[in-house]
Chains A and B, each alone.
Chain A
C-alpha cells in the first residue's frame, strides 16, 4: 500500500522489540463487544489510476463556472488567481507544516501571517487584524459575540441587506450565548434602516456593504448613531475586491470589520475552504477571537514573529476563552497574502475598477431586455434585477442552455417575498460575449 512504508519484516521485528506476539495484543483494551472479525463494509484499496477515474467521473457531473457564461456571486466570487499562488502554497514547507507553535522553525508561516494581518488591517482601514477565521459567516458570528462581551449588552441588530447565511450563522451562535437578534427585513437599499433599531441595550449593529443586493452604503452616519448609544458597528464585506475601489469601513467609523477573503487567492471550491478576515480597533484587541501573530526578538536580538496574546484562546483559558476556535484558515490565508502581494495597491485598484466597469457594462446591456428592471442603484460588481417570472425557474432554464445566470434571492431567502429577484455579478473574468449570450437568452425567455 503506497502510503504505508512498513513491510511485514519490519512489523515482525518491531513486535519483537515491543514484546508483543501480534498486533492484536496492542488492542487488548478494546472491549470484546466492539471487536470485529472482519474489515468494515467498504471497498478495499485502489491504485491512483482507479481513484482518479472514480473522482473524475464525479467531477465530470458538475457544470464548472468556466464552461460558459457565469454570473453567480452572493458571497462567493469567481476571480482569476495567478498561477504563482497555487504553486507556492503547494510547497512542502507550507502545505505540510503545522501551526507555528515552535516559532524557531516556523518563521515562514509566522512572517506571512504578520504580512497577512497587515494587509487585512490596511484594506479594512482598521488598527489590527487576526490571522484569519474559518470564513466570513463565522467571523460575523464571532464579531457579534465579541461586541456582546465588550459592551456587556444583549441585543444585536442585523440589517436586511446582510447575507442570509451570515445572518443565520450569527443567529445560531447568538441564541447559544443568550444574545437577542433582531433581523430587519430584506430590502435593496436597507442598511440605514438599522438606525431606528438602535437603543441602549444594543451591543452591535451589523451592516453589509456592498450588501446582498449589491448596494454600496456610506456607513459613517450608522457608525456615529451606534457609538452615540454605546453600541459597536460591525461592517461585513463579502466581496473583498470591493475594498480596492470603495472607502474602507474603518475610514467610515466601523468598530469591527469582518469579511470573506475567498475572492483573493482562493477558488470557488463549491463553498469551502474559504478564509474569514477579522479586524478591529486597537482597544478591543484582547477581546478578539482567533490567532494573533506578533513581532518580537530572539535571544540574539534578531527580529522574529510568534503567536501571541494566547491567553484569550481555548488551550489556555479553556472554559473562559473568547472563543472555542483552534484552527485558522492557514493555507487559504497564505493564498490570500500571495495574491495580494502580487496585486499590490496598484493592481488591486485596477482589478476593482475592471470589476466595476464590467458590472456597469452588464447593467447597461440588461437594461435593453424588455421586462428586466435594474433594482440596485449604487453597486460594485454585483446587483439585483427583477425579472417578469420566477427567478429560480429562469436560472434553471438558462442552465439548461449552458448559462449560469446568477443567484435567485429565493435560494437564500425562500420566504423573503422576492421570488422574482435575481442577483447578477460580473468580474474581470466576464467577457462581452458572455454578457451578450445572457442578454440574448433572457430576451428569448420571456
Chain B
C-alpha cells in the first residue's frame, strides 16, 4: 500500500489544563480579540489613505492666513483603517449581539431597511438650502412623518426640528413659556416627580423656572394630593413621564391633567417610554399638551454609540402657535417649508438649530412606521409590555421587584434581595458582563435603592428572554450562596476589567499628547 499520511494529529492531545493554569498570551492579543493602540501611536504622520488630484492653483492669494504649523494628524491607508476600526468594534457590546436590557433606552432591533432607505441619494445627497421646488419629496416625507406622529399621539401639531430628546424638552418648555407670556402671565415654577430623568429638571432650570419635586406614593405613582398642594397660579407646567420611570402607568393621569389645567398650567409629557403605549393609547387623550418623542427609542433609529438622536415634539392646539420655525405646510399639491414668521405668527419662540432637523432620522423612522403600520405598532407596545412582565414574573421569586402589580414595558427591581450578601447592584451588573449581557440601567430612578431597570423591548424572542432570565437566576443564586469574589472582581472576561473613574476625574487626560507617557496611573 502507499503510505499517505496527513502529517499532523487531528485530535486534541489529552493535556490536562487546570483552571488558573491557562498561559497568558505573549503579545497582547487574545484569540479573536486584537490589542489596538491609538492612531497617534503609530508612525502615520506622512501617510494618507485618500488619493487626491494636484490642485490647479497654490494658496499664495491668502498670504499669512495660510497655516504653516503642523496640525498633528496621522493618516492610515484603507487596509490599516479598516483593521483599526474593526478591531475597535470588537470591543463593543451591541443590540445585534444580545438582549440589551437598558431600562428607559428602548434598545430594540434597528431594521436595516431603514439604513438602506436613508442612503438613497434622493435623501442623502440633497442640500438643505436647495430651492424648495427641488426638494418636494423631502418636504413630503417630513409632512408624512408629522402626520404619523400626530395621529399616533392624538395631537394637533408637531415641532420636528429638535435634534434629541433633551432638545425636544427644551422646545416644549420654550413653547409653554411663550404661551404664558403671550397671555401676560409669566410663571415661575415647574413641578417634576422625584423619579424624573435628569434632563427634566435640567431643562426646566435652564429655561428659568424654579424646579419643585412632587412626592411619589408607595405604589410608585405621582402623589395627587402632593401635586394639588403644590399647584398654584405661579406654576407654568408639570413634567411627567408616562409610563413613568418606574415602568408604571400613571393611572390618575387624566386627573393630573385636569388639576394642572385648572391651575392654568400645561402638561409636558416626557415621551421616552412611549414604546409601552404606542398604537394603543394616545397621549392627547390623556390631556397632554406637549410631548417629545425619541425617534431613537420608540421608532428604532440607531443608537450609534450615543447618537445622533431626534426629538420631535407633538403639541396641543393651545401650544401649536408657539412652535419654533421651520415647519412644513401643504399648500394645494405643493409642500412649503416655512422658515420665517411675521407679525401675529411671530409669537413662535424662534429657531432651535440650523436647517430643518434630523432628516436622516426622519427617513429611518418613517420606514419603520410604514413597515409596522397601525396594527404592527399596536403589537409593538403589547409585545414590549408582555416581554417586560414575563421577565418580571420569572425573576420576582428571587429578585425583589420595587412595586407590586403589572409593569409596563420595563421592570424595576431594587437591591433588597441582595441584603446581607455584601454584593451591590453595581457588582451584580458587572457579573452580567462576564455572562455576555450588557447590564440593565442601574441606580435610576433615584427613588428606589440600588435600582435595576430592565427593558427588553418587543424585538426579543422568547428564547432570548429565557436565556437572559436563566442567567440572571443563576447569578442571583450565586450571590445568595456567598460567591462574592465572582461579583466583586467582575468583569473578568471582558476586554478590560473595571476602570478607575476616580483617576480619570482627578487627572483628566482628554486627548493624546506626544509628550505624555502611555500610562496615566504612573504619574
Contacts and interface: CB of A to CB of B under 8 A. Distances in A.
Contacts of A396: 131, 133
- Most A Cβ at <10 Å: residue of B69, B123, B354: B354
Given A75-B354, A82-B78, A17 B390 contact: yes
5 contacts: A40-B374, A55-B141, A247-B64, A269-B124, A328-B306
A308 interface: yes
Interface stretch (A46-54, A150-158, A194-202, A436-444): A46-54
**Shortest 3 CB-CB contacts between residues of A and residues of B:** A344-B75, A59-B122, A61-B137
A315 to B, nearest CB: 4
Interface in B303-358: 303-310, 324, 340, 349-358
A115 B66 CA distance: 25
B415 interface: no
A135 B353 CA distance: 8
A45 B165 contact: no
A62 interface: yes
Contact of B285 (A33, A112, A302, A334): A33
B374 A135 contact: no
Contacts of A56: 120, 122
Contacts of A54: 370
Contacts of A13: 462
A429 to B, nearest CB: 10
Interface stretch (B10-18, B222-230, B499-507): B499-507
Interface in A307-362: 308-311, 313-321, 323-334, 338, 340-351, 353-354, 356-358, 360-361
B8 interface: no
A102 B501 contact: no
A94 B89 contact: yes
B67 interface: yes
Contacts of A407: 129
Contacts of B357: 271-272
B82 interface: yes
B96 interface: yes
A105 B131 contact: no
Contacts of B199: 314-315, 324, 326
Contacts of B44: 344
Contact of B406 (A10, A26, A361): A26
A36 B154 CA distance: 12
Contact of B508 (A39, A260, A292, A346): A292
A295 B520 CA distance: 7
Given A3-B111, A169-B353, A62 B462 contact: no
B304 A331 contact: yes
A146 to B, nearest CB: 13
B373 interface: yes
Given A105-B91, A360-B57, A137 B303 contact: no
Nearest to B381: A27
Contacts of A97: 92-95, 303-305
B80 to A, nearest CB: 9
Contacts of A328: 306-307
Contacts of B462: 5-6, 10, 13-14
A389 interface: no
A65 B130 CA distance: 9
A445 interface: no
Contacts of A109: 92, 305-306
Interface stretch (B100-108, B417-425, B474-482): B100-108
A138 B373 contact: no
- Most A Cβ at <10 Å: residue of B133, B202, B356, B512: B202
A61 B163 CA distance: 25
Nearest to A415: B340
Interface string A1-41: 11111100011011101111001011111110111100111
Contacts of B386: 6, 11, 14-15, 18, 23, 26
A251 B64 CA distance: 12
B503 A297 contact: yes
Interface string B282-311: 100110000000001000001111111110
A368 interface: no
A332 B165 contact: no
Contact of B280 (A27, A31, A61, A357): A27
Contact of B510 (A2, A58, A285): A285
A413 to B, nearest CB: 10
A306 B499 contact: yes
A310 B505 CA distance: 8
A295 B133 CA distance: 50
B166 A314 contact: yes
Contact of A247 (B46, B65, B366, B508): B65
A51 B282 contact: no
Interface string A60-79: 11111110001010111010
Given A64-B122, A357-B56, A341 B74 contact: yes
A267 B125 contact: yes
A102 to B, nearest CB: 6
A96 B96 contact: yes
B122 A5 contact: no
A268 interface: yes
Contacts of A230: none
B205 A320 contact: yes
A153 B25 CA distance: 58
A379 to B, nearest CB: 9
A66 B125 contact: yes
Nearest to B248: A29
A104 B458 contact: no
B397 to A, nearest CB: 11
Contacts of B510: 114, 117, 128-129, 285, 292-295, 308
B76 A341 contact: yes
B193 interface: no
A108 interface: yes
B307 A354 contact: no
A119 B126 contact: no
A172 B127 contact: no
A347 B49 CA distance: 8
- Most A Cβ at <10 Å: residue of B36, B167, B174, B360: B360
A245 interface: yes
Given A45-B371, A135-B163, A294-B508, A115 B134 contact: no
Given A54-B370, A316-B198, 16 more contacts: A5-B464, A6-B461, A27-B249, A30-B249, A36-B280, A45-B371, A55-B367, A58-B137, A128-B511, A218-B65, A272-B360, A309-B505, A319-B202, A342-B75, A346-B46, A356-B55
B393 A245 contact: no
A86 B136 CA distance: 26
Contacts of B448: none
A132 interface: yes
A292 to B, nearest CB: 6
A257 interface: no
Contacts of A345: 45, 70-75
B511 A117 contact: yes
Contacts of A42: 148, 151-152, 369, 373-374, 377
A331 B49 contact: no
A344 B76 contact: yes
Contacts of A17: 390, 393-394
A246 interface: yes
B66 A247 contact: yes
A404 interface: yes
